[in-house]
């Protein structure tokens, strides 16, 4: 028999060893490259999220600087301009803060402006009949809460998307506003101006805003209601499987939003004691734009932040005041201001979406 050469034996036994070593090395290299890619992607996602979170604050700072520079350079009375700024922002901030509870669930209510108008008209009629400030406040809040609960209840009973019911309520409330105006025999509802001026002060507005915002912050950040709403907005299927009552949560959210609308309507009567069917017509769109400016995610979910309403409301007021000063006396100024708001709205939506994850659980 032919004896094997020791060298040949060594070569034969070394081949499989080298193959295993090569495979192990390749697997290690692949794992290392995968880990680096994942780390790079995670780092990029963190930077994008940080930028998206800081964008509203950066925008607010830029708008504040622009407001001061434009107002000062044009010789505007800055004290009066600042007072107007606060008057514009307080009502938007209050209503938007309540609406956060709806938006956090991935829904939105486009009838907020019409609801504000109807509540303000009812409050004005109650004051004219009784002369009582507290009854006027109670009428505004009760009307707004009932209106909001009707929208939520219709959605729950008929199993319809909340957006659909708010579209229907928008038409209904418009008809109700026209009917309320006709009860006075004219085209408007008037509240005694001397009474309105007595309470139309920054102190009253800031107290109302502070109390309501504090209540909403507590409910949204420190109670089960806020956590459940963000869960529904993030993934309604998971929310159902965990036993969350979608209908009751929606009713609670609309009730809180109605409270904000009622307070906003009360302040609207004090600010504008003469109400027509076109009063508060732009509040609904202003609230939507304000929340987006403030960094609110339109789809709701865990990234919903209660401060978005505050930042967005102030940003909207700053933008409106700055545009009003710049375009004062210019033909077509209102149209230009609308186009600027539209462009900024799209830009902010894009910035907010850039920090949002692309892979989500099924809705």
Tell me the H-state helices in 110-245. 112-130, 133-157, 162-182, 193-199, 202-222, 224-234, 236-241
Q: Which residue has the tokens 């009629």?
A: 125
Percent of the chain with pLDDT over 70: 84
pLDDT digits (tens, 9 = 90+) for 274-321: 888 888 777 777 788 888 888 787 777 887 888 888 888 888 888 888
Q: Which residue has the tokens 């008037």?
A: 190
| Among 96, 98, 100, 93, residue whose Cα is nearest residue 229 | 100
Q: Which of 116-120, 145-149, 158-162, 200-204 has the lowest mean pLDDT?
A: 158-162
Please enumerate in sequence order all residues whose Cβ is within 8 A of that of 358, keeping only pairs 6 or more positions apart, or say none.
none
> What is the reported pLDDT for 143?
95
What is the rounded distance in angstroms from the CA atom of residue 293 to the CA atom of residue 91? 16
Half-sphere exposure of 150 (CA within 13 A, CB side): 16
* pLDDT band, residue 195 (cuts 50/70/90): confident
Residue 358 above 50 pLDDT? Answer: no
> What is the reported pLDDT for 357?
46
Residue 191 above 80 pLDDT? Answer: yes
Please tell me which residue, 350 or 128, carries the higher pLDDT value. Answer: 128
Percent of the chain with pLDDT over 90: 20
pLDDT digits (tens, 9 = 90+) for 34-60: 777 777 777 766 776 666 667 778 888
Q: What is the DSSP letter of 360?
A: -
Average pLDDT value over all residues in the chain: 80
Take residue 246 and report the two structure tokens written for it.
Answer: 């979608």
What is the rounded distance in angstroms from the CA atom of residue 26 to the CA atom of residue 35? 14
Q: Which residue has the tokens 């700024």?
A: 85
Whether 332 contacts 98, CB under 8 Å: no
pLDDT digits (tens, 9 = 90+) for 225-280: 988 888 888 888 888 888 888 888 888 999 999 999 999 999 999 888 888 888 87
Residue 33 above 50 pLDDT? Answer: yes
Q: Which residue has the tokens 């545009």?
A: 323
Domain boundaries in the chain? 89-312
Residue 192 above 60 pLDDT? Answer: yes
> What is the reported pLDDT for 137?
93
pLDDT digits (tens, 9 = 90+) for 340-354: 777 777 776 676 555
Residue 84 above 50 pLDDT? Answer: yes
Please tell me which residue, 28 or 152, carries the higher pLDDT value. Answer: 152
Take residue 330 and report the two structure tokens written for it.
Answer: 């210019």
């Amino acid at each position: 028999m032919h004896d094997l050469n020791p060298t040949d034996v060594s070569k034969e036994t070394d081949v499989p060893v080298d193959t295993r070593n090569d495979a192990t090395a390749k697997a290690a290299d692949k794992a290392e490259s995968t880990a680096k890619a994942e780390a790079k992607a995670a780092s990029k996602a963190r930077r994008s999220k940080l930028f998206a979170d800081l964008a509203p604050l950066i925008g607010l700072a830029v708008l504040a600087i622009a407001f001061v520079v434009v107002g000062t350079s044009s010789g505007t009375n800055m004290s009066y301009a600042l007072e107007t700024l606060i008057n514009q922002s307080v009502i938007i901030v209050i209503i938007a803060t309540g609406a956060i509870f709806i938006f956090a669930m991935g829904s939105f209510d486009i009838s907020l402006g019409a609801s504000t108008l109807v509540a303000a008209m009812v409050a004005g009629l109650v004051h004219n009949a009784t002369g009582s400030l507290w009854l006027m406040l109670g009428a505004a809040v009760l009307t707004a809460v009932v209106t909001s609960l009707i929208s939520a209840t219709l959605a729950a009973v008929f199993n319809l998307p909340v957006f659909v019911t708010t579209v229907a309520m928008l038409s209904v409330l418009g008809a109700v506003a026209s009917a309320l105006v006709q009860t006075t025999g004219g085209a408007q509802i008037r509240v005694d101006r001397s009474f309105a001026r007595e309470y139309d002060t920054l102190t009253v507005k800031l107290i109302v805003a502070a109390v309501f915002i504090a209540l909403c912050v507590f409910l949204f950040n420190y109670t089960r209601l806020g956590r459940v709403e963000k869960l529904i907005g993030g993934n309604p299927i998971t929310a159902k499987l965990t036993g969350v009552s979608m209908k009751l949560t929606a009713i609670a959210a609309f009730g809180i939003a109605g409270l904000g609308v009622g307070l906003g309507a009360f302040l609207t009567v004090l600010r504008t004691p003469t109400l027509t069917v076109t009063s508060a017509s732009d509040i609904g769109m202003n609230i939507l734009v304000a929340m987006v400016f403030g960094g609110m995610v339109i789809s709701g979910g865990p990234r919903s932040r209660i401060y978005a309403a505050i930042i967005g409301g102030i940003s909207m007021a700053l933008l409106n005041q700055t545009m009003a000063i710049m375009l004062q006396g210019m033909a077509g100024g209102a149209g230009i201001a609308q186009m600027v708001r539209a462009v900024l709205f799209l830009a902010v939506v894009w910035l907010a979406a850039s920090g949002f994850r692309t892979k989500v659980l099924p809705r």
